[in-house]
Amino acid sequence: MAIKSLEELRKLRASLQDSVDLREKGESTSGITEVLIGMGTCGIAAGARDTFNELLTIIEEQKLSKVKVISVGCLGQCSLEPTVQVNMPGREPLIYGKITENRVKELVEKVIIKQGYLDENLLIPSFTKDGVK
Amino acid sequence: MKNINIVINNNELSVPEGTTVLEASRNVGVDIPTLCHLELPDFGIVNKVASCRVCVVEIEGRGALSPSCAEKVYEGMVVKTDSLKAINARRSNLELLLSNHPFECLTCQKNLDCELQSLAEKLNIREIHAKGIKMDYPIDTSSNSIIKDPNKCVMCRRCETMCNEVQTVGVLSAIKRGFDVVVAPAFNLDMVDTSCTYCGQCVAVCPTAALTERNDTSRVWRALSREREHVVVQVAPAVRVAIGEMFGLEPGTISTGKLVTALRRLGFNAVFDTNFGADLTIMEEARELVHRIENNGTLPMLTSCCPAWVKFFEHQFPELLDVPSTCKSPQTMLGAIAKTYYAEKMDLNVKNLKVVSIMPCVAKKAESARPELSKEDELHVDFVLSTREFGHMIKEAGIDFTSLEDGKFDNILGESTGAGAIFGTTGGVIEAATRTAYELITGENLEKIEFEQLRGLEGIREATVSIGDLDLKIGIAHGLGNARKLLEDIKAGKANYHAIEIMACPGGCIGGGGQPYHHGDQNVIKKRQAAIYEIDKATPRRKSHENEMVLKLYDDYLGEPYGKKAHSLLHTCYVPAEKI
Amino acid sequence: MKERITVLVCGGTGCMASDSNEMVIQLKQRIKELKMENEVTIIKTGCFGFCGQGPIIKIQPDNVFYVKVKLEDIEEIITEHIVKGRVVERLLFDDPKANEKVKEHKNMDFYKKQMRIALRNCGFINPEDISEYIAVRGYEALAIVLSENTSEEVITIMKDSKLRGRGGGGFPTGLKWELTAKQPGNEKYVICNADEGDPGAFMDRSILEGDPHSILEAMAIAGYAMGANTGIVYIRAEYPLAIHRLETAIKQAREYNFLGKDLFGSGFDFDIDIRLGAGAFVCGEETALIASIEGHRGEPTKKPPFPSEQGYKDKPTSVNNVETFANIPSIILKGAEWFSSIGTENSKGTKVFALAGKINNIGLVEVPMGTTLREIVYDIGGGIIDGKEFKAVQTGGPSGGVITKEHLDTPIDYESLKAIGSMMGSGGMIVLDEDNDMVEISKFYLDFTQDESCGKCTPCRIGTKRMFEILERLTNLEGCPEDLDILEDLAHNIKNSSLCGLGQSAPNPVLSTLHYFREEYEAYANRTISKSYKIIEEKCIGCTKCSRVCPVECITGKVKVPHIIDESACIACGACFDACRFDAIIKP
Amino acid sequence: MSNVNLNISELDRDLLNELDIYIEATVDPNGSLINILHKAQLIFGYLPHNLQLYISRKVGVDAARVNGVVSFYSYFTEKKTGKNVISLCMGTACYVKGSEKVLHKLLKTLDVQKNEVTEDKLFTVRDVRCIGACGLAPIMTVGEKVYGHVKEDMVEGILNQYRGEE
């Protein structure tokens, strides 16, 4: 899959634009919900791997076909690990903190299925993604 | 080369590009103390690790001080060697070193010959402000040659440079880190369990007594004190051109006669010359070479006079053990003859006959203890003293060395030729062998005795000497690192020599690990070399096979050179050893 | 159906202290009274990361942001905003620059306090999926320079951006590249220093774990600029996850031909190799790092010669830190001018700090240079744990120093930190509160540096040991006032005459605390400090718990009778303090 | 030195084969000495003297240099460890939050010195440099498992989880 030129790279990028839009603005054409889990060392140390596995299990159990779980790096909010970001089409991306294994079921139910919030775990990112917008 | 303009302590000066601040400063009479720094460029010895921080100076525009020994000048550089910042730092660093140093100077092997000690005096250290725990490592007395006392180490790394870069023996490394760091063999093994060659180059450069030769003077004093014992002594060729340095004489002063007198005064029953052993070695070695050439034997043939070199190839090139000559070294040949021929002649009980060697070398101590260098459980040589130890004995006896009259070696094993004398320098053994081999092969008289092409100080030299129909290809290496290169070439089939001379120490025995300390001055070694050639020139006979006492020895006792009896007394074998 | 309203009330540690719990109760109560439960949801959230302005209430979907809300403001928010849909202007965030109230939180200058350049993709993309990196313009910067710029132009961009090394030294990156590029010969190396060794700093790890491709891309750009075809990442073995992600990223990049031969058809070859560190702080120093990469003990060598002249395998080598590299793709994509518009006069762009210690929001923050320490500690960090008194921030790790209360408003950049006796270092910020003993803190750092000293040069090998011994003497109450003079002399001489940066900066924690907290040292030196815990007789009920936990058995007393601590035997371990349920024990 | 075992033939042949494969695939074994040592430690669990000697011969560098490198870096260990390696983070964040006390408690509870193996061969306790999870300070790891916010009174309970395995 060697990319031979700038044009090829840009074409490839355009085809991948959708998920970025979902994460940045909550816009997507695919209807996929993304759940991002911070899987840096500190996240994993705080139990992110268990959270990750639990999420997969629940998604499978509940047959949520349009939910994708993605492991990402750390957000920097170490004292609030494990952190989970939920990106749903049409909603502002939301970040939840301290989503340990036992909070996952509730998160899926309240946030993904009922499109609500998981009250006390909800964080609001204190920074814009890419500096000055 | 371009000149660079700099300012040192307000003195403007212009020095060639590449000059260090230290060199430039000394040009204008500014003294900067040094400790770890060591440089003998003509011998490939450079230790510029800049670790001791005793030579630091202030360079304008830099926050931290710079080590003058390793700092090269640049255009417009402004140096202050005497700023408070620099003076304080130097003193502080020396104090720190002393705060971690045993204060046993009075009984230390290096007392009054210690670079740390003289630095402490120079920098006016009278008090150690920050005291604390000191290193506490066991002293390694395992070998017959070298004593390692890590507690006296100042981490100048000179020994590591010698062992790894110059000699490529690779035994020493810094182990651990921080305050616990110590220079040691792998796994902190005792020296005796390693592939240390005991070349003693680490000893030769150690500024303190962290590495010294094993002091055998008290053993020799004891032997001399026993009336029942007949103690004879032999002196290696390189000792006579260096011993004077112990008594303030110029390096290269030839002190052969004084040295003989001193030995007599110390009470030795007979004073022999290792040069005799050297001539004897040539008789055997030249024959062996001719034999190998004529009988399609293993070539090249390597010399085997140097015990560090012998140990080096046993550990590092065990697959090449058939390459070196089987000849014993001159010291052990002489010892073997002393304990047989001489003992018989003098009607001495060998058990009461002790042979002492004065050697420029510390490896000779270990060599003398090798079990195969003995006859019927009697070692050929009982005690080996370094040039330094010998000098100390003279001092101890209160002998005024410089005003001694010249004495003569005891004739029986004391006569020697110029060929024996040049054994003390790199190129000398092979030149001596060539003189004899030439006449052996051609049957003609050699007119031009000096083979200039074999002389010099290049690390590796080669020459072709025409001997009749034969173009004798000769290689020479001094320093084990250079020897390694030659050996690698031999292994790879690249080197096409008949004979190769190898000496472990830079410069050969004149630069040996047992010689008076050169303290980093390479001219000391060069002057000794010049003196060696001077001795050769001044000796009436200059070919080993013309040594009448040697010839008499063969007639009386040994029979044919390279013959059966000679073989059993004068030849040896080598054992492969592990490399650690 | 009417648009559903969500009221988010900050419930983070910082805001909790200011009645946000009570607000949630009141809000819920009023909404219930108004019978609006079906339309309005009240949520108590985690930390907004906005603690200095708390408590905060955010109303969705209007995206209106109220700060410093008080209990009495609740009624107005409900009647005005929720019922009538009118924004309560006076509670909006007051942007000091724009001097106007703004509603939408993304527009507020406050949020710009954190600005993510180096961390731009961390937590945003899957680091093990190259297509996600490509989706955020990954490898585009590399493609652009290879197709549109000469090597010289890339160096010019870097110089114009005024980016400086983020590893601690702050050397201009463009200049470093230029020095390496200028060297003759065509065998050169690009090294990424990922041997993050400062205790308490973990931004490099976070970047490598969260966005490894950005480092690979930047290294390739560096290689192109300098004429190097080989890159080496020297990474701590203690970071297995980062190593794994890096390995994965390299593999993927090779598949896409972002690494390898003839990148983007330009004819430029570049590939990257990983070398592991093995636990030696000194290997963060570039010459020691190179020694380590060559398979040797990590002992530094004298500079000059600099690695740019004689580095890895004695070839010209540029060593740059992870965070430095992480900035580079953005600089190429957005331009040098954009980057140099951020920050202070001599320090451009952002810096990532690792906030740790006695602070509420522990974590990584990325702020523009020039942000004040106060903003970081209080606004972003949420202030001190348990409402304790701020004492100092230690920056620069074992090479740095402390910043005290009086300097809280210093805009942070390379020069200003140096001026107050600390340094940027790699960006560790350890917040210390009133309970921290500054002599103990500097002892901690000296213990670290003397343990991590490579042992090569005298001042660092023996000097730091002696300094540590003096500190130990002092804290054991075995020191004397003269020790302080010796300590200070030693510190200066070690600083002046050590071989490498580690040694030269090792005394900084002592010099800095000696400067700002000399009285604490003097108290030890004069032995006027009490090292013992004490029992308040009136409060002690004689439960015996303290005496049972005391490891040196220096607490005695009968049951139900106030206990006594033998002050001469107390080792001040604090076990009794933790065990006492009656607040009857006081710290020394 | 009696405590130095240099007998290479005592090394496990299968494990050596695994190491050999790695070394032989290394492009520049001399320069990659540290990577090779990592691999060896991974395979053998530690770097005993005879293994260091083996590597020195295999790679063709002096044993003194190998040992100099091994003893320089704190990540390498020449001693066999207990079944469970307990690492206590001594980074600044953990230190200011009391990790030293936890370390003392551990050593006292197990009656063992740092880096030594407990009598039951179950544990080795080490202090390590910052592992970069400061948010959970003080941090202790047992093998791969991470324990955050560790206090002295938690030590016994954590240890018991591993004691029960026997």
Output the pLDDT for position A130: 36
Output the pLDDT for position C110: 42
**Which of B51, B66, B48, B122 shows the shortest CA–CA distance to B91?**
B122
| Per-range mean pLDDT, top range of B69-78, C107-116, D105-114, D125-134 | B69-78
pLDDT tier at B233, thresholds 50, 70, 90: very high
> Does residue C432 sit at the D interface (CB-CB below 8 Å)?
yes
pLDDT in tens, C386-431: 778 999 999 988 889 999 999 999 999 999 988 888 888 888 898 9
More confidently predicted of C385 and B239: B239
Which chain D residues are Cβ-neighbours of C454 within 8 angstroms? 72
Of D1, D64, D65, the CB nearest to B193: D1
Catalytic residue selected from B160, B285, B389, B431? B285
Mutate which: D134, D146, D149, D156, vs C, most C CBs within 10 A: D134
Which chain A residues are Cβ-neighbours of D97 within 8 angstroms? none
Residue of B nearest to D57 (CA): B579
pLDDT tier at A133, thresholds 50, 70, 90: very low
pLDDT tier at D1, thresholds 50, 70, 90: very low
pLDDT at A79 over 80: no
Tokens coding C1: 């159906």
Domain boundaries in chain D?
A: 8-72, 84-163
**Could you write out the DSSP letters of every residue in B298-353?**
-SSEEP---HHHHHHHHHH-GGGTTSB--BPPHHHHHHHHIIIIIHHHHT--GGGE
The hierarchical CATH code for the domain B100-213 is: 3.30.70.20
Domain boundaries in chain B?
A: 3-97, 100-213, 217-570
Q: CA–CA separation, B541 vs B32, rounded Å? A: 49
Which chain A residues are Cβ-neighbours of D131 within 8 angstroms? 41
> Does residue C498 sit at the B interface (CB-CB below 8 Å)?
yes
Asked if C236 and C194 touch (Cβ cutoff 8 Å), the reply is yes
Average pLDDT, chain A: 82
Active site residue B364: yes
CB contact under 8 A, B187 and D57: no
Q: Could you tell me where the DSSP H helices lie in C275-343?
A: 286-293, 322-334, 336-340
| Across C367-378, average pLDDT | 90
Active site residue B68: no
Of C294, C313, C362, the CB nearest to D135: C362
Asked if A59 and A69 touch (Cβ cutoff 8 Å), the reply is yes
In B30-102, DSSP assigns E strands to: 38-40, 45-47, 56-59, 66-67, 77-80
Residue of D nearest to C549 (CA): D153
Active site residue B288: yes
Running DSSP on this structure, what letter comes out for residue B77? E
Percent with pLDDT over 70 in chain A = 92
Domain boundaries in chain A?
A: 18-123
pLDDT at A117 over 50: yes
Output the pLDDT for position C83: 84
pLDDT tier at D37, thresholds 50, 70, 90: very high
Determine the distance in angstroms separating the CA of B54 from the nearest CA of chain C, rounded to an integer: 9
Asked if B442 and B468 touch (Cβ cutoff 8 Å), the reply is yes
Phi/psi at C523 (5° precision): -60, -40
pLDDT at B327 over 50: yes
Output the pLDDT for position C39: 83
CB contact under 8 A, A81 and D134: no
Catalytic residue selected from B71, B288, B314, B415? B288
pLDDT at C330 over 70: yes
Amino acid at site A104: V
Output the pLDDT for position C536: 87
Output the pLDDT for position C109: 41
Mapped onto helix, strand or coil, the DSSP state of residue B316 is: helix
Output the pLDDT for position C2: 47
> Does residue A14 sit at the C interface (CB-CB below 8 Å)?
no
pLDDT tier at B107, thresholds 50, 70, 90: very high
| Per-range mean pLDDT, top range of A123-127, B265-269, B449-453 | B265-269
| Across C121-133, average pLDDT | 89
CATH 3.40.30.10 fits A18-123, yes or no: yes
| Across C78-90, average pLDDT | 84
Which chains border B (3 or more CB–CB pairs < 8 Å)?
Answer: C, D
pLDDT at D68 over 80: yes
Determine the distance in angstroms separating the CA of A40 from the nearest CA of chain D, rounded to an integer: 9
Give yes or no on whether B3-97 and B100-213 have one common fold: no
Output the pLDDT for position C54: 63
More confidently predicted of A126 and B313: B313
Q: Which domains does chain C have, with CATH numbers?
A: 5-111 (3.40.30.10), 130-337 (3.40.50.11540), 350-433 (3.10.20.600), 438-525 (1.20.1440.230), 530-588 (3.30.70.20)
Mutate which: C206, C248, C257, C371, vs A, most A CBs within 10 A: C206
CATH 3.40.30.10 fits D84-163, yes or no: yes
**Which of B237, B444, B269, B458 shows the shortest CA–CA distance to B356?**
B269
Asked if C259 and C219 touch (Cβ cutoff 8 Å), the reply is no
Instruction: Assess whether chains A and B touch, using the rule of 3 or more C-beta pairs within 8 angstroms.
Output: no
Mapped onto helix, strand or coil, the DSSP state of residue B436 is: helix
Q: How far is CA C570 from the centre of its chain?
A: 36
Fold adopted by B217-570: Rossmann fold (3.40.50)
pLDDT tier at A118, thresholds 50, 70, 90: confident
pLDDT in tens, C148-159: 999 999 999 999
Which chain C residues are Cβ-neighbours of A97 within 8 angstroms? 46-47
Average pLDDT, chain C: 88
| Backbone angle region of C336, left / alpha / beta, with phi > 0 → left and psi within -120 to 50 → alpha | alpha
Peptide bond into C55 cis (omega under 30): yes
| Across D120-141, average pLDDT | 82
Active site residue B372: yes
More confidently predicted of C7 and B451: B451
| Across B553-574, average pLDDT | 95
Catalytic residue selected from B152, B258, B364, B365? B364
> Does residue C278 sit at the D interface (CB-CB below 8 Å)?
yes
pLDDT at B112 over 60: yes
Output the pLDDT for position B31: 92
Amino acid at site B142: S
Active site residue B458: no
Which chains border D (3 or more CB–CB pairs < 8 Å)?
Answer: A, B, C
Of D52, D56, D64, the CB nearest to B185: D64
Output the pLDDT for position B495: 79
**Which of C339, C7, C122, C335 shows the shortest CA–CA distance to A23?**
C122
Average pLDDT, chain B: 95
Q: Which residues, 6 or more positions from C223, have their beta carbon under 8 angstroms from its beta carbon?
A: C190, C229, C230, C231, C268, C270
Amino acid at site C237: A
Architecture of the domain spanning B3-97: Roll (3.10)
pLDDT in tens, C533-559: 888 888 888 888 888 888 778 888 888
Running DSSP on this structure, what letter comes out for residue C544? -
| Across B290-301, average pLDDT | 91
Residue of B nearest to C501 (CA): B64
In C128-188, DSSP assigns E strands to: none
Output the pLDDT for position D166: 47
Determine the distance in angstroms separating the CA of C40 from the nearest CA of chain D, rounded to an integer: 35
Name the pairing type of β-strands A84-87 and D145-147: unpaired
pLDDT tier at B270, thresholds 50, 70, 90: very high
Output the pLDDT for position A132: 30
Output the pLDDT for position C108: 44
pLDDT at C106 over 60: no
Mutate which: D72, D85, D101, vs C, most C CBs within 10 A: D72
A:29-68 residues touching chain C, CB 8 A cutoff: 36, 38-42, 44
> Does residue D72 sit at the B interface (CB-CB below 8 Å)?
yes
Mutate which: B187, B316, B491, vs D, most D CBs within 10 A: B187
Amino acid at site D2: S
Catalytic residue selected from B39, B58, B284, B367? B367
pLDDT tier at C102, thresholds 50, 70, 90: very low
Percent with pLDDT over 70 in chain C = 92
pLDDT at A89 over 90: no
pLDDT at C13 over 60: no
Output the pLDDT for position C15: 54
pLDDT at C72 over 90: no
Amino acid at site B226: R
pLDDT tier at C283, thresholds 50, 70, 90: very high
